[in-house]
Amino acid sequence: MTHDAFALTGEDRERAADRLRVLDARKRGRRGLLIWLLLGPGVLVMLGENDGPSMLSYAATGASYGIGFFLPFIALTFAAAYFVQEMGMRLGAVTHRGYGELLFQRFGPFWGWFTLADLIVTNLITLITEIIAIRVGMSFFGIPSWVAVVVAVSLVVISAFGSRYSRWERISISLAIFNLLFIVSAVLAKPSPAAIGHALLTWSPIGVGSLQQLLLLVCSNIGATVTPWMLFFQQSATVDKGLTPRDIGEGRLDTAVGTVIATLAGCAALLAALPLFIHHVDVSKLTQGGAGYAQALQPYIGPWGATFFALGLIEAGAVAMLTISASTAYGLGEAFVGAGHSFNRPLDEAPVFYLANIGAAVLAGAIVLIPGLPLLQITLNANLLAVLLTPPALVFLLVMVNDRELMGRQVNALWNNVLGIALTVFITAAGTLYAAVAFVNTFWHAG
């Protein structure tokens, strides 16, 4: 074997330097610095999931049904997302393998490519909705649609070529913090604290309305927090960041911080749109080629509230563009043995990774420029598609985190499995029920 076989690459040296800083912080007992060094994948996956279609889904929910049922329901879906993402983080930290790579290794190429195909299709549709969100937000300020598409795609291209995961991560987190703009809009909407407390404590029943539309919003809110791309992204980002089994505690904290921030912002989007429900505004035609919700909310939450809502949509779409494109790149990169699949690799060492990352964004941008797209229905149904494709991904995840050969002492506890199976059954039931009701309604009207 040649000496070159043992030579350290630039990526090896950078990873070693990162781990040295982590070990030094742990040795010195500098807890705050340790958390800062390991913070990232959990925060990003949760705030990335607070994407354009998710925030529009929360707004549509608040405008259509108020807060009685859906405010606590949204909080519950985020709790479920934490539970799922903690398993993915733990799996990545223990195995040092991404979700896609493990699928191919443990279940073979058929199931690996089957799941990867689901991811690619779902991610492309979701990326389309992210650009729609950026387009809708920018249209509030009179910015043309083509400019919004160029900005969205350029953001992915520019952020990808830092040849360093940590740089890409910090850029993404800096953008993700602006998800909190929805909280400002919610405050300016002046919701009743008593009504919020009553909703959270009593979980009021849902009023009369279209069963199909109600189920669509239920599924959209589930798909806004638990999706296949999140598993690919956080597990691969955990590996890219270099977390080890010793870092699992900090990984859980990272995911919990992201969950809390994302829950507050998601609930805030619902509360910001609450005036539309109170004043009986018809939301069925909103976002059709215009600024939609921001314009509709302006008479009730003022120009500043509407501005922050529009800026929040731009941020939500931008961060999701980065994270979802990255999950596509991780998934495809991990499918090819020996191919580089890391932001720490330059372009010539990871061509598939960078081509998938940028190519997905470019293709989505080109599709969004097609005239006459039904924007609101695309955004809501993107989350619905995620609901339909999530159960198989959860089954694979549960099998892997229960594999003692893979996980050792970090194998799933009994309560993890009970909750995981219950969540999988619930998501399957919700998606199946919506599909059945939609089919019956279509058949009934056709008849």
- Residue-level pLDDT at 403: 92
Question: pTM of this prediction?
Answer: 0.86
Residue 248 vs residue 333, higher pLDDT: 248
Tell me the C-alpha distance between 328 and 131, whole Å. Answer: 16
- Residue-level pLDDT at 289: 42
Tell me the C-alpha distance between 225 and 57, whole Å. Answer: 11
- Residue-level pLDDT at 27: 84
- Residue-level pLDDT at 444: 66
Q: Could you read off the pLDDT of 343-357 as tens digits, one per residue?
A: 777 777 788 888 888
Confidence of residue 266 (pLDDT cuts 50, 70, 90): very high
- Residue-level pLDDT at 1: 45
Confidence of residue 2 (pLDDT cuts 50, 70, 90): very low
Whether the Cβ atoms of residue 330 and residue 353 lie closer than 8 Å to each other: yes
- Residue-level pLDDT at 392: 87
- Residue-level pLDDT at 69: 84
- Residue-level pLDDT at 379: 63
Q: Does the pLDDT of residue 259 top 90, yes or no? A: yes
First to last CA, the chain: 74
Q: Could you read off the pLDDT of 11-51 as tens digits, one per residue?
A: 667 767 777 888 888 888 888 888 888 888 999 899 888 88
Q: Which domains does the chain have, with CATH numbers?
A: 40-446 (1.20.1730)
Asked which of 180-189, 235-244, 315-324, 373-382 is least confident by mean pLDDT, the reply is 373-382
Mean pLDDT over 360-379 rounds to 78
Asked which of 99-103, 128-132, 333-337 is least confident by mean pLDDT, the reply is 333-337
Tell me the C-alpha distance between 392 and 226, whole Å. Answer: 12
Q: Could you read off the pLDDT of 200-217 as tens digits, one per residue?
A: 888 876 655 677 777 777
Q: What does the mean pLDDT of the chain come to? A: 83
Q: Does the pLDDT of residue 5 top 50, yes or no? A: no
Mean pLDDT over 375-393 rounds to 74
Q: Does the pLDDT of residue 235 top 80, yes or no? A: yes
Pick from 329, 398, 408: which is nearest to 96 by CA?
408
Q: Does the pLDDT of residue 241 top 90, yes or no? A: no
Q: Could you read off the pLDDT of 157-185 as tens digits, one per residue?
A: 888 776 677 788 888 888 888 889 999 99
Q: Does the pLDDT of residue 124 top 80, yes or no? A: yes
Residue 438 vs residue 409, higher pLDDT: 409
Q: Could you read off the pLDDT of 416-430 as tens digits, one per residue?
A: 899 999 999 998 888
- Residue-level pLDDT at 296: 87
